Amino acid sequence: MAELSLNRAHSIIRKALAKGREAGFKPLSVVVLDTGGHVKAFEREDGAAPGRFGIAHGKAYGAIMLGMAGRAQMARAEQQAYFMAAVNGVYGGQVVPVPGGVLVRDKRGNIVGAVGVTGDTSDNDVIAAVAGIESVGLTPED
Amino acid sequence: MAELSLNRAHSIIRKALAKGREAGFKPLSVVVLDTGGHVKAFEREDGAAPGRFGIAHGKAYGAIMLGMAGRAQMARAEQQAYFMAAVNGVYGGQVVPVPGGVLVRDKRGNIVGAVGVTGDTSDNDVIAAVAGIESVGLTPED
Amino acid sequence: MAELSLNRAHSIIRKALAKGREAGFKPLSVVVLDTGGHVKAFEREDGAAPGRFGIAHGKAYGAIMLGMAGRAQMARAEQQAYFMAAVNGVYGGQVVPVPGGVLVRDKRGNIVGAVGVTGDTSDNDVIAAVAGIESVGLTPED
Amino acid sequence: MAELSLNRAHSIIRKALAKGREAGFKPLSVVVLDTGGHVKAFEREDGAAPGRFGIAHGKAYGAIMLGMAGRAQMARAEQQAYFMAAVNGVYGGQVVPVPGGVLVRDKRGNIVGAVGVTGDTSDNDVIAAVAGIESVGLTPED
């Protein structure tokens, strides 16, 4: 399975942050995880709250660990809150099941990582993540 | 970003406790956290239950980590309980998402810390926190 | 069993901090715990590192939970490191077994709380704690 | 207390990674934390092991929380292993007490953040961190 290079991860972050600024979103925080759910790169904009790493990470981490993007996780949480609570027990409480955790797929459809964005509404966080992922020619699944 | 001095933190606590006594509230506990969510000062009045440090801390800690005061956290918890549960997983179970966690802003609007009050109803806890913060010329966001 | 009042706890902290300033110690952090090991009051001086609450708390907490002051805990840790490690497993990793965790006894010899001081050398931390405790007419066991 | 901007944090990381490549070090991972110990930015070079975020973070986190750089933490761990073990209990097992956790000070001597580097020997990790910090006109304490 291919992995995102640091250069590509960094481009995704920079583009996501630029998208947020263009669109007038609140200061964003963006993480890129590899296919094992491990942190490749992260940036928190000036003015974002200090705890935003954990939220960005939790959105992307659940996406990788379950192979399920944030919107699907939220749907499951709405239907079966106890299931997502149990998932969080298994994964050490590190999953944040809301939009803004976006899977990254290559042209063959393989998952090559995940992006987590937090700072504005969940829907706006997704817009920034998608802009970042598409800017490097990869396919978001949000 | 400026930080609250110990003198100012202590004045906030003393005024919050005085407000509670004046108003006939139950014995209060008041914590002041810095901009990183670390304890600067705390006092628990005689007669308050032993576990009140954790509740006061949890109200203020969530406010700092998310950049979101207690009332906004409660609104989010009412709408999306699983989201605030997940946030608590990320922050080690240290967040108490109810009123009484109050952000402290300076004249330029920057967050310089947070106050957490517990002991009476959540609304009364807020009244005491606000009195403390305003007594040193800073602006509460509850 | 008697408990320290908030007034007395606060006097202990203020005197301990004053002692540290007089003696030219680094900025100190001082906690007072009740007889159940629960936080009664805490202050962290300007310039002290952000994580000092946990260290001050850990020194005093072990003293209360084991009924054994910091020097005795350190002696035990030097002889039997695995025992103090096991104790920390039992107490959730909250014990810091070094000098600066000081038991507070009344005239009849009963434990009425504990003081934890951190910021300078362990021996200087003890000097500040002892000054605070003696200033309110109680007896330190360090 | 001033905080590092994202621009400056990013420059530190880029220069530290460049220094490692120039010097022929193994692939490095570099984190920048703010004055509260919260992640501001992180990058892991291609070829670095997946778990490197936690090590880089742990080096910088202990430096912030204790106000003590990695070399001083290692000296304390060598003398009093049980003390650093206890510190880790207090800080949730998040401290890695070895060189490569470097405090960042401004011209007035105030701590404005910390850098954690991991990937090569601890001494080489320090060389990369120092190069990054000095490249933005700030002062490392390693």
Total tally of structural domains belonging to chain D: 1
Evaluate if residue B1 carries a pLDDT over 60.
no
Domain assignment of residue D81, given as a range: 6-141
Q: Is D1 inside any structural domain?
A: no
Mean pLDDT along residues C12-25: 98
Preferred mutation among D32, D43, D94 to probe A, highest tally of A CBs within 10 A: D43
Report d(CA D37, CA A9) in Å as an integer.
Answer: 24
pLDDT in tens, B42-77: 999 999 999 999 999 999 999 999 999 999 999 999
Q: Is D134 inside any structural domain?
A: yes
Which residues, in sequence order, are CB contacts of D9 under 8 Å at separation 6+? A43, D32, D40, D41, D113
Mean pLDDT along residues B3-26: 97
Which residues, in sequence order, are CB contacts of A46 under 8 Å at separation 6+? A27, D3, D5, D6
Task: Note whether C11 and C122 are within 8 A (CB).
Answer: no
Mean pLDDT along residues B6-14: 98
The C-alpha angle with vertex A70 and arms to A45 and D40, in degrees rounded to 5, equals 20
Q: Is C98 inside any structural domain?
A: yes
Note the Cα B112 to chain centre separation in Å: 13
B8, two tokens: 């100012």
User: Whole-number mean pLDDT of chain D?
Assistant: 97
pLDDT in tens, D74-93: 999 999 999 999 999 999 99
Mean pLDDT along residues D113-142: 98
What's residue D133's pLDDT? Answer: 98
Is D26 buried (19+), middle (13-18) or exposed (0-12) by CB count in 10 A?
middle
Evaluate if residue D12 carries a pLDDT over 60.
yes
CB pair distance less than 8 Å for C51 and D66: yes
Q: Is A40 inside any structural domain?
A: yes
Q: Is D107 inside any structural domain?
A: yes
What's residue C1's pLDDT? Answer: 52
Q: What is the DSSP letter of A38?
A: -
Which residue in the set D34, D38, D43 is minimally distant from A41, CB to CB? D43
- What ipTM describes this predicted complex? 0.96
The counts of H helices and E strands in chain B are: 5, 5
CATH number of the structural domain spanning residue C27: 3.30.450.150
Task: Note whether B57 and B41 are within 8 A (CB).
Answer: no
Looking at chain A, how many residues does it have? 142
What's residue B2's pLDDT? Answer: 76
pLDDT in tens, C117-131: 999 999 999 999 999
What's residue D33's pLDDT? Answer: 98
Shortest distance, CA A53 to any CA of chain D (angstroms): 6
Evaluate if residue A2 carries a pLDDT over 90.
no
Report d(CA A29, CA A23) in Å as an integer.
Answer: 15
Preferred mutation among B82, B88, B111 to probe A, highest tally of A CBs within 10 A: B82
Helix ranges restricted to H, chain D:
6-22, 52-66, 70-79, 81-90, 122-134
Closest-CA residue of chain B to D39: B36
Calculate what percentage of chain A has a pLDDT beyond 90.
98
Q: Is D27 inside any structural domain?
A: yes
Quickly state the pLDDT bin for B17 (edges 50, 70, 90). Answer: very high
CB pair distance less than 8 Å for C41 and B44: yes
What's residue A1's pLDDT? Answer: 52
What's residue B3's pLDDT? Answer: 87
Mean pLDDT along residues A117-139: 98
Evaluate if residue D51 carries a pLDDT over 70.
yes
Read off the amino acid at residue A123: D
Mean pLDDT along residues C17-23: 98
Shortest distance, CA B49 to any CA of chain D (angstroms): 23
Quickly state the pLDDT bin for C2 (edges 50, 70, 90). Answer: confident
Evaluate if residue B40 carries a pLDDT over 70.
yes
Pairing of strands D139-141, D101-105: antiparallel
Mean pLDDT along residues A100-123: 97
Closest-CA residue of chain B to D4: B1
Residues 120-139 of B with CB under 8 A from A: none
- Binding partners of C (≥3 Cβ pairs within 8 A): B, D
pLDDT in tens, B82-138: 999 999 999 999 999 999 999 999 999 999 999 999 999 999 999 999 999 999 999
Touch test C–B: 3 Cβ pairs or more under 8 Å = yes
Closest-CA residue of chain D to B36: D36
Evaluate if residue C88 carries a pLDDT over 80.
yes
Q: Is C1 inside any structural domain?
A: no
Evaluate if residue C43 carries a pLDDT over 80.
yes
Ramachandran quadrant class, D119 (left: phi over 0; alpha: psi -120 to 50; beta: rest): left
Quickly state the pLDDT bin for C114 (edges 50, 70, 90). Answer: very high
Mean pLDDT along residues D103-120: 97
Report d(CA D83, CA D97) in Å as an integer.
Answer: 11
What's residue A124's pLDDT? Answer: 98
pLDDT in tens, D13-31: 999 999 999 999 999 999 9
What's residue B96's pLDDT? Answer: 97
Q: Is B73 inside any structural domain?
A: yes
